[in-house]
Amino acid sequence: MDQARAKTILYVEDDRVVLLAYSYRLEREGFAVEPARDGLEAMKILVRLVPDLVILDLMMPKFDGVEVLKFIQSNPRLKTVPVIILSTNSVVDVDEEYVLECANRRFVKDRCTFPILLEAVQNLLAGTPARDNALAETPVENGQPKNLVKTPA
């Protein structure tokens, strides 16, 4: 994949094993991967670098993925960078759901294999639009994404 050699992916993930495994696979596909272990580290990287794509976990220390996504969306330099949310639990407050809609794709980790992630990365970098809705990859129950949105208490 010659075209991908120049493409940089910011991979934000607090699970060291997941970060290393996926980074290694992405690098084997020809991507340059900038790893970040928490939201604060991701924001520091984003101040100095505009990646071609961001893969973002939601549940992280220091700043969560929602805060990182808000940071990306509020910065004119970063606003057009495609974002893939890849998270295990992906539970957020209903009030913050609008922020997650800014992501181009959303995957639940236990339903996402590397080939699925790679296809999404390649499509987004090629400019292929996301399917109808960023939630296309997540199960929906009663009109709400299952395991993605926490109902208000």
Mean pLDDT within 74-84 = 93
Task: Specify the CATH architecture of the domain 2-150.
Answer: 3-Layer(aba) Sandwich (3.40)
β-pairing, 53-56 vs 8-12, is: parallel
- pTM score, whole prediction: 0.78
Is the pLDDT score of 60 beyond 90?
no
Per-residue pLDDT reduced to its tens digit, 90-130:
555 666 666 777 789 988 888 888 999 999 999 999 886 54
Mean pLDDT of 86-90: 74
What are the phi and psi torsion angles at 25 (to 5°)?
-65, -40
Question: What pLDDT shows up at residue 134?
Answer: 38
| DSSP-assigned letters across all residues of 79-136 | TTS-EEEEESS--EEGGGHHHHTTSSEEEEGGG--HHHHHHHHHHHHTTPPPPSSTTT
Query: Going by DSSP bridges, is the β-strand pair 149-150/140-141 parallel, antiparallel, or unpaired?
Result: unpaired
User: pLDDT digits over 15-33, tens only?
Assistant: 999 999 999 999 999 999 9
Q: Percent of the chain, pLDDT > 90?
A: 52
What is the reported pLDDT for 62?
A: 87
* Res. 133 pLDDT band, cuts 50 70 90: very low
Domain residue ranges of the chain, discontinuous segments joined by +: 2-150
